[in-house]
Amino acid sequence: MNKSWIVVASLAAAALSACGSSNDETPAPPPVTQEVPASASASVGGFIAYLVALVASDADTLEPVDVSAVTPPVDDAAEPSVID
């Protein structure tokens, strides 16, 4: 009788240990040369951040990006941004 309880307890522990994984990992954003993020059309800061990431990437060896859906944002009230 003791042996069967040990087997049942071992199987239950093995089954429950497989249920403990967490899938809270957020997927990595796609490379800047794969698609234009929505933030690039949402704000001037997002557009500048996308351009900086694009310039920093090795875009010469990758496929072109479809930018037909991108509308560069305009903010006439903001001060000019310093671009390095």
Q: Which residues contact 77 (CB under 8 A, 6 or more apart)?
A: none
Question: Residue 13 falls within a domain, yes or no?
Answer: no
Asked if residue 22 is part of any domain, the answer here is: no
- 46 vs 29, residue with greater confidence: 46
Residue 70 lies in a domain: no
- Kindly report the average pLDDT of the chain as a whole number: 74
Please state the domain count of the chain. 1
Given this model, what pLDDT does residue 73 score? 87
27 SS3 class: coil
pLDDT in tens, 14-23: 555 555 555 6
**Amino acid identity, position 65:** V
Please list, in sequence order, all residues whose beta carbon lies within 8 angstroms of the beta carbon of residue 44, skipping any fewer than 6 positions away. Answer: 73, 74, 75, 78, 81
54 in any annotated domain: yes
pTM of the predicted model, to two decimals? 0.54
Q: Do the domain assignments include residue 44?
A: yes
Checking if the pLDDT of 74 tops 60, the result is: yes
Integer CA distances (angstroms), 11 to 1, 4, 73, 80, 84, in order: 16, 11, 59, 65, 60
* Assigned domain for 18 exists: no
Q: Is 80 within 8 Å of 45 (Cβ atoms)?
A: no
The least confident of 3-12, 28-37, 39-48, 62-71 is 3-12
Length of the chain: 84
Give residue 50's domain range: 31-60
Amino acid at 53: A
Does residue 11 belong to any structural domain of this protein?
Answer: no
